[in-house]
Amino acid sequence: MEQQLFTVFGATGQQGGALLQYLFNHPRLSKIYRLRGVTRDSKKPAARALVEQGVEMVEADMNDPASLEAATQGSHIVFAMTDFWSAGSKETEIAQGKALANAALATKAHALIWSSLPRIGLPNFDGKADVEAYIRNLPMKSLFYMPGWFMQNQLSFSKPVKQANENQQGGETYILKPLFPGCEADTLVPLVDNEDIGKYLQPFLDDQDRYNGVGLVASSEFMTPRDMCAVWRKVTGKEVWFENEEEVKRIDRGGEDSWYYGDGSRKALEWTLEQMEGKTTSWEDFVKREEGAWF
């Protein structure tokens, strides 16, 4: 059987790059799909490394619809995403997302996977939600991947900060600052390992009819910063605490939904995980995997 073309935008970024690696390594899907990656600069090292793996790499400009059509030509499935922060404009992101969708439609792609986000009143979320609404009215199969808070964020700008003074036992103490505005010790945070993206998309890749139009709550678990710090202490033996944690009374959240995804998100998460053939990475798994990078 001739392989179908799977085109991945953002091929040298976190999401697109992880998806390509998943497809390469999957024993079944690697036989079904041949891979094309789309990037702004095919000469950069990350793009050249993908070429060496066998990915067809092409260049496209998110603000040039003609280049997007050229990049999606012949595709069976297109994974499309935009980067709000590159332009810092909701309107620009919406225009880019619609142009991507129009390109996939014009080149007769069988299905489009859109990297979306819930509508929560922030421009970097709501622009993606607006593009999702647009895609839902197009005559093509679609899936909407809505990742939670990337665990990888804790390796960079949201890393625990070492305190100047030693703790009472003479050791080091680290403080985790609020992950985002309004984040408290008992805020439920939907955590996702970026490298798991292919696991979430796998059901759709196997059966586009069954999962057509689905919006995925793409998180391995909902966890509070307080409990994230407890896992750090357990795995690393380091004293890691959330900022002002002792001043915030623990809330018994039970089966409460995540503010990020809204009403019904607990059941939606359970449903998503039940569809997948692969086990997702838990926060404890991630802390163990990256143990040497924390402190």
Q: Give 141-181 pLDDT, tens digit per residue.
A: 999 999 999 999 999 999 999 998 766 665 789 999 999 99
In the numeric block, the tokens 């710090």 are attached to 229
Residue 168 lies in a domain: yes
Specify whether 43 is located in the same domain as 137: yes
Residue 92 lies in a domain: yes
In the numeric block, the tokens 């309107």 are attached to 91
Which structure tokens are listed for 88?
């810092």
Specify whether 159 is located in the same domain as 128: no
Specify whether 137 is located in the same domain as 168: no
pLDDT at 167: 67
Specify whether 113 is located in the same domain as 27: yes
Does pTM top 0.85 for this prediction? yes
The radius of gyration of the chain's CA atoms, rounded to the nearest angstrom, is 20
Please, what's the largest Cα pairwise distance for the chain? 66
Which structure tokens are listed for 120?
């929560």
Determine the structural domain holding residue 89 and report its residue range.
4-147
Show the low-confidence residues of the chain (pLDDT under 50).
none
Q: Is the dihedral of CA 17, 19, 20, 21 positive or negative?
A: positive
Whole-angstrom Cα distance, residue 98 to residue 83? 13
Residues 185 and 226 sit within 8 Å (Cβ to Cβ): yes
Specify whether 96 is located in the same domain as 137: yes
* Number of structural domains in the chain: 2
pLDDT at 284: 98
